[in-house]
A and B are shown apart, each in its own frame.
Chain A
């Protein structure tokens, strides 16, 4: 399985990458030809080209390790020259943040977010706290954990 749609637009993705990079670095000069959105963060309305650029054309790594509710914590500050999405994740994860929240905040699909997180995990810039509820999906959680959840819900 590969991420949806990116493969078929790969041939034009390279061009998009070049122009986006160029305009983003000169966005503050407001030359008339700078697209407004080049300086904005990526959003779900972006074309597949944009998503292709964000991930460097990769579709899937070992990013499956990240569950929707894996909690991510930054282990370092953003570095100069870092890809903007990577830097945004590090800024956001000063406190633990779930993968799904990061995706929503970035405005990127979860699958793309997982790839970005795998990059950061590989380089030791984040740590990941994986859910412990049920190792196998068919397995019920421990009664002790459920009791904690009940207490938490009643205290809401």
Chain B
């Protein structure tokens, strides 16, 4: 399984792997919003948690169709299904690789982007914390959507339609916790619910996604 993780990370950083795509998209959103909304610092700081969370979510969505599709097309998924690695483990590793190449860079870059949106120190801290807690759930839920649509040519649209409703709770609690944290209100409840979504999807989705892949390989 470590071999699979290393291979996926290596594929992501080599030419054409799509590494940095999510980050670039996140940067573009963050830079465009002030042009659209206007430069008043008070307004920007108020909408920043929501905008940054939506941006991070869409950036995650952007690279989801690659999670299983490429391996399906070149036959790797067939060969992995007949290998000693359990399909649940393959799903977990693939989602982890997706998070390491998409979610983690977003978390690391969040303070800088928050600064562009006029958020102050505690706000940056809370945004980073909520993204760190929430983006693993985005990668896991996305891996489930990718597993469902793996056999479908140009399944990106269907994938987005399937995954976006499932992303809504993560977005609500993530943005809410970041907003409350930034405004100095107690943010414990949304933060715990966000952590709960991540823990639940980590525990359950590998089984659901592995079943979906087995169906799609038939």
A, B: real partners: no
**Chain B residues near A (Cβ < 8 Å):** none
